[in-house]
Amino acid sequence: MSSFSILEVYDVETGERKALREFEGLIEAPNWLSDGDTLLYNSGGRIWTYSIARDEAKLLETGECVHCNNDHVPSPDGKYLAVSHNPPMPTGWGSFIYVMPMGSGEARQVTPLSPSFLHGWSVKDELAYCAFRGEDAGERKVDIYTMPAGGGEEKRLTDGVGYNDGPEYSPDGEEIWFCSTRGRSGLMQIFKMNRDGSGVTQITDTGENCWFPHLSPDASRVVYLTFRKGDLEPHEHLPDKEVALWLMKPDGSERRKLFDLFGGQGTINVNSWSPDGKKFAFVSYR
């Protein structure tokens, strides 16, 4: 297991990779907040903020949600935060989605069923997440679901084909991007579909396992993570692996590797583009 985490940013226009701060222990999954200065990440089950200008990390108040994983997303206006929290369970483990005003600690459970792993919050005030449900849980089948951010009935979008993960909305809220093993190769690849689950389209068809596609704020670029084929099972996204970050256009063209790094789980699980779309944040490990 890695002993140190390095919070970094990459400038897609200049190609500069810059380490902001090294942390002893594990931090994961940075989000870039709308002020352009603050990054949000999880560590030790808690949510933290990091100011780039002040080089300062602070614990964020999240109330009862003290077992958060790396599935956390701010609302499009930055006023609220949604997290996946693992509360104490009578048996086994669970993951429920909670929503709270940013920094207030007044958490409200949104998903009644578990496990649910958050990945997207749309401008249409809707949450997208992946989840195990019913008999599928025993078969390791994971599907994409959506639900109003205020709570309500969840809607299953995918159909039990393949392992479906990492759902994230396009900036206009009309599309959901995700990764799935449903393609011909059986490897994890990148797909997109309409908000209602129709029009599933495969974007990548490569020899790597492709994970966590994140569209830039202007929807002109997609950054994503790859694991080497054979390093793990296609449905796994594990820590402490030799991985790479890639950039492409939304139609899959002009695909290019940015760089290799030691990382994997926790590197770039959630959208971490800067508000101006010039940079994205990520975590590497050593």
Token pair in block for residue 66: 């003290």
Amino acid at residue number 173: G
Confidence check: pLDDT of 94 > 90: no
Q: Which domain holds residue 187?
A: 4-285
Bridge partner list, 180 = 164, 189
Give residue 135's pLDDT.
Answer: 60
pLDDT digits (tens, 9 = 90+) for 37-81: 999 999 999 999 999 999 999 999 999 999 999 999 999 999 999
Per the structure, how many domains does the chain have?
1
Count of CB atoms situated within 10 Å of the CB of 131: 22
**R_g over Cα of the chain:** 17
Give residue 70's pLDDT.
Answer: 95
pLDDT digits (tens, 9 = 90+) for 225-283: 999 999 999 999 999 999 999 999 999 999 999 999 999 999 999 999 999 999 999 99
Q: What is the pTM of this model?
A: 0.95
pLDDT digits (tens, 9 = 90+) for 121-180: 999 999 999 998 866 555 567 999 999 999 999 999 998 899 999 999 999 999 999 999
Determine the Cα–Cα distance for residues 238 and 235; give it in Å rounded to an integer: 10
